Structure 1
Amino acid sequence: MGYKVAVVGATGNVGREMLSILAERGFPADEVIAIASRRSQGREVSFGDKTLKIKALEFVDFSEIDICLMSAGGTISKEWSPKIGATGCVVIDNSSAWRMDPDVPLIVPEVNADAVAGFSRKNIIANPNCSTAQLVVALKPLHDKATIRRVVVSTYQSVSGAGKDAMDELFQQTRAVFVSDPVEAKKFPKRIAFNLIPHIDVFMEDGFTKEEWKMTAETKKILDPKIKLTATCVRVPVFVSHSESVNIEFEHPISADEARDILREAPGCLVIDKREDGGYATPYEATGEDATYISRIREDPTIDNGLAMWIVSDNLRKGAALNAVQIAEVLVNRGLLKRKAAA
């Protein structure tokens, strides 16, 4: 007998990807329920070779559901996740609402799967920010080897991280440029087509954006509070997959060859690092893939024990939907969930 799984936000980019990945990976679910807002009730979404009809969030009895994959935004999650968790259903939330709550584990399974055991305090588990998830997958095995002191990261984040409207805006602006129509910016503060925007989320008092703060705070919570990290987050005219240029300072010596060998064996990592034309990963190759791709691994001659590298991953998958499903798999594989139907 399998589990009963709900996907809240099933009509969004990440929600649709969650349904796809549940089917792809053969998650042990007897029933999967697609949930969204009342205005989407009755719409159909794909689940493997099946079609599911959307149910409205307000009308679902979560006391009969084992796992809820939540991808409906922070406001909805703050209201609904505690209610759902109180029924005994475990919420795996993709928003930023619960990430820094000390009673909520923030999990990347390749990095800190053991921390998932703390979910029972609120029956909520948080998924990290998409740019953080791929970063810590690459940092973890290197930290275990040589102890990371400091990280400087610049991100090149695709528009899908801002939702379907953002993807539509990039498409519409690109078309407008080619046919000499006016270019309208609605979702983004400036034109995104053929442009870069060094601004993701809101600005904070210290001049950093909240996206940059998230990367710092979440890396410390997931990996090690002693790590110093500074980030510059940039939106780029790419539809899917985030890229990161990463500079790392270690406490102990580590060579580029050692790092390359370690990362080749690390879970979730795929090294593509040939020092030749095209011998590296780009967002195009990463799209639709589960791995975190690592390229351009090289020693930094400007500091002791320094490395630089390039990291690329599909933000809708490892940065969101895949990570959530992997967390659910950890719960199942470690026997941390009791099926409500069996109970």
Structure 2
Amino acid sequence: MNKKLISKKKPAFPITEALSKYLTKQGRNIKIPIYYDDLLRFQGAIEVFDAEGNDTLWISCYYSEHEREEIHRSLKQMYSILHSDGSDTIIPYLNIDSIDFCTFGNSKPFRIKVRNILNDNYLFLYIKKADASRIYGLELEDILSPNHINFLVHKDTLIEEHISGIPGDIYIKEHLDTISEQDKRELAKEFVKFNERCFVRLLGDMRSYNYVIVISYDFDRKQYRIRAVDFDQQSYEGNVKVYKPQFLKENNPFVKMSLELLAKESIEQYKNEERSLLAKRAKSEQKRLKLLIQCMKKDNISNPEKVQELKTGLFTLTGDVRFKRAKNMGELLKAALDFVIRNYQTGNPYILK
């Protein structure tokens, strides 16, 4: 895919008052003990390398002694808010093993490793600069996908839980050629569904390093799920192909595998299944989705040129005049969801008001 189709640097968009009220209503916007800018006060850092000695583009940060204790205490409390009862009581057997900072990408996240010293189990949480695009993406993922997302926002700070799985690019490089034909067919089916889900909800830039492969076991077979982990490109780009992972060159191995192993009729069947599931999820969460779309319609998360390009592309694909009438990304997303609901939901049609 031509690299020019994806912007080199997407700006961060501020959280509007309407979006902030929506997040408060959903229990996402609450007071937190530490902010993104607090973690920027590190005194130094060292590069983090993987097991093969490659630079991961993360650096491990260290803080002055008088600040480290307070930062660690606040991070433990943040863990409690995100995963437990949120009380002020610090869990005594938690340890902050590392605070890493990513030097690559739009969100410049901090990755916090929290370890239980009683059993050595650990997990990660991420602290990022809040961006309205990403927040819309996270909420839409929670509403419209089979995956639930746990995150919190306060002012200009975003806290996210870690999404476990094998990064897509690593899976392609190290595992794809070793799995059975049946597993490849299962994974191809999931890629078709993931591709359709991203397109309908206008989540862009799903290159292989922006999603993970989640594997679970069911009796004598494996089940695969592809989960997005980067939501910065929610409803931002203008080229319609950006919203279809099949057109991103990093995903070519999955595209090739799907075309080789799945009949054309099967691909259409899986696309229709996913659209029907999206329509059902939208209907079951219609009140929440309606509120989110209302915020998005009043918001500015792209520029007029990209909006014009995208609505022209979607109209060309569907022939639906509602895309031509859309004035911003929120209205385009509403038109896309309404299109799917009208055409794939059985029973009484439901349209987002």
Give the TM-score normalised by structure 2: 0.29
- Which structure carries more relative contact order (alpha carbon 8 Å, separation 6+)? 1
Is the helix fraction higher in 1 or 2?
A: 2
Give the TM-score normalised by structure 1: 0.29
